[in-house]
């Protein structure tokens, strides 16, 4: 899908103007940038949560509207505290008023939760789960939605490094084949997971030409080729921070 000539005003000044970029199907695109540049806003725009100025076009590659084909995973797990892990995973169908998920979807959810290691915690409330466990439920919830485009806003930033590591691997495995747009502030995460890495900079903000990486993910960060890319990325980020 592509975003063309996007313009969004925030408080009277344009946050971005003439912003163009595209997401490659089936690949992970990561967007980095200094805080406040508008990464989250761009994500929300694509999700349909923000209104863009006239002239903006956000379109899917096949020409059909994006609505209903996007899944959202935020910085917080967004689990509802009064529902069990299983019910949280099945939230989408509930909110859309679809007739009882039916044993099919339900068993799919149970299988997925077992897969992510929460088989014994199906009935647990979010308050009883750790941060990592909650994000895993969120991941399952995102998967159950079965949408082609996944938008993620720093979903692992609130976790400790070990948990983050594991969750990144899980996400790559489970979201294989889907188009993912990941906003992150961690260059290593971007290099580990992304196929294309953009840096968003400037006011109004633009995305630069992406760094392209090989298809196999998650990558090992001790790969020397990656280290070169990392320094390039950090250089770009520093430049972006200055420009802000």
Contact residues toward another protein (CB under 8 A) are 44, 47-49, 67-68, 70-72, 74-76, 78, 80-82, 91-92, 94-97, 125, 127, 145, 151
Q: What is the 8-class DSSP label of residue 234?
A: H
Beta carbon of residue 53, minimum distance to another protein (angstroms, whole number): 20
Tell me how far apart the alpha carbons of residues 206 and 199 are, in angstroms, rounded to a whole number. Answer: 8
Tell me how far apart the alpha carbons of residues 225 and 240 are, in angstroms, rounded to a whole number. Answer: 23
Q: What is the 8-class DSSP label of residue 220?
A: P
CA 28 to chain centre: 9
Q: What is the phi-psi region of residue 177: left when phi exceeds 0, alpha when psi lies from -120 to 50, beta otherwise?
A: left
Beta carbon of residue 95, minimum distance to another protein (angstroms, whole number): 4
Beta carbon of residue 96, minimum distance to another protein (angstroms, whole number): 5
- Write the CA distances from 185 to 40, 81, 127, 170, integer angstroms: 11, 28, 27, 20
Beta carbon of residue 130, minimum distance to another protein (angstroms, whole number): 16
Beta carbon of residue 203, minimum distance to another protein (angstroms, whole number): 24
Nearer of residues 94 and 166 to another protein, judged by Cβ: 94
CB 182 within 8 A of CB 28: yes
Alpha-carbon dihedral sign for residues 90, 93, 99, 101: negative
Nearer of residues 130 and 161 to another protein, judged by Cβ: 130
């Amino acid at each position: 899908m592509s975003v063309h000539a996007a313009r969004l005003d925030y408080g009277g000044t344009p946050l971005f103007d003439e912003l163009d970029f595209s997401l490659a199907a089936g690949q992970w695109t990561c967007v980095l940038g200094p805080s406040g540049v508008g990464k989250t806003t761009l994500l929300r725009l694509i999700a349909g949560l923000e209104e863009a100025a006239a002239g903006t076009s956000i379109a899917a590659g096949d020409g059909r509207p994006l609505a209903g084909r996007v899944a959202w995973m935020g910085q917080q797990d967004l689990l509802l505290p009064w529902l069990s892990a299983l019910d949280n995973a099945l939230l989408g169908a509930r909110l859309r008023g679809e007739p009882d998920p039916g044993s099919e979807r339900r068993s799919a959810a149970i299988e997925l939760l077992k897969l992510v290691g929460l088989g014994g915690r199906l009935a647990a409330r979010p308050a009883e789960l750790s941060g990592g466990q909650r994000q895993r439920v969120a991941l399952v919830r995102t998967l159950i939605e079965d949408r082609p485009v996944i938008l993620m806003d720093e979903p692992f930033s609130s976790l400790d490094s070990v948990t983050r590591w594991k969750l990144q691997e899980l996400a790559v495995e489970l979201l294989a084949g889907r188009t993912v747009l990941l906003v992150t502030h961690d260059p290593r995460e971007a290099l580990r997971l992304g196929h294309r890495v953009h840096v968003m900079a400037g006011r109004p903000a633009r995305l630069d030409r992406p760094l392209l990486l090989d298809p196999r993910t998650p990558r090992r960060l001790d790969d020397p080729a990656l280290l070169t890319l990392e320094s390039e990325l950090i250089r770009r980020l520093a430049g972006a921070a200055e420009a802000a």
